[in-house]
A = this chain, B = another copy of it.
Amino acid sequence: MLQNIRVVLVCTSHPGNIGGAARAMKNMGLSRLVLVNPADFPSPEASARASGADDVLASAQVVASLEEALVGCTLVVGTSARSRSLPWPMLDPRECGSESVARAAQGEEVALVFGREHAGLTNEELQRCHYHVHIPSNPDFSSLNLAAAVQVLSYEVRTAWLAREPQAVKTDKDEVVEELATMDEMERFYGHLESTLVQIGFLDPAKPKHLMPRLRRLFGRSAVNRSEMSILRGILTETQKAARGDAHKRKDQ
């Protein structure tokens, strides 16, 4: 079940941190590592710090974008410093552990996303996450080492996993669990939504303000399932047809 939880490291500068993260993961029983544009990987320094977690490094997936790293995921949690201009649903590390484990136990794919050593995740990357998680820290010295942050969240995943009693798993047959839309389906929806909003004149690409992030946050919160997704896509398609008619009419005038 823990194999449904992947650790995603975005644009890591120091290979030693990749090794340290791999070791922390394996210590806690996690094995799936995805690296988005690492500066230096594979590297002897990563292997040295992994000190025995070479299998995690060897099977690590290297990808070119966060989007690729999140394919198939239905729960994405991004690490973040607390204050951001746009408030977002927050988890503390303990809640992050229990939510990740609960969702992984349902067969969902979960991603824990960690940003750059100095700059963290960008606002755009954070807006791809359902939740942000903040590791409580000394306000005067708040930036954890990357591998240390992976250690804390992985530890909370393991603790939640150990605490989970098998009989507590819901097996209510009446409760049909509808399959959630994956992150890639959500991204296609957001793309479709954005172009539709431009088309109907609600979104000005020159002055986008916080419109798309706000809509991402809204839909991100509600765990959209697949049948709902097809309704939403259908609405957009019909809206576009209507808007095209409008555009033709304007041309005709």
Contacts and interface: CB of A to CB of B under 8 A. Distances in A.
A28 B202 contact: no
B137 A28 contact: yes
A214 interface: yes
Copies in the complex: 2
A83 B173 CA distance: 8
Contacts of A94: 159
Interface string A241-253: 1111111111010
B249 A227 contact: no
A166 interface: no
B52 A141 contact: yes
A26 B138 contact: yes
A83 B172 contact: yes
A174 B83 contact: yes
A84 B174 contact: yes
A152 B152 CA distance: 6
A234 B214 CA distance: 13
A18 to B, nearest CB: 14
A197 interface: yes
A3 interface: no
Contact of A245 (B51, B211, B250): B250
B218 A222 contact: yes
A253 to B, nearest CB: 10
B87 A238 contact: no
A155 interface: yes
A173 B224 CA distance: 30
Contacts of A214: 227-228, 231
B228 A218 contact: yes
Contacts of A158: 136-137
A144 B49 CA distance: 11
Contacts of A244: 246
A201 B235 CA distance: 9
B138 A27 contact: yes
Given A137-B158, A145-B147, A215-B228, 16 more contacts: A26-B138, A27-B144, A27-B148, A51-B145, A82-B175, A83-B174, A136-B158, A144-B151, A200-B235, A200-B238, A201-B238, A202-B238, A214-B227, A215-B231, A248-B249, A249-B252
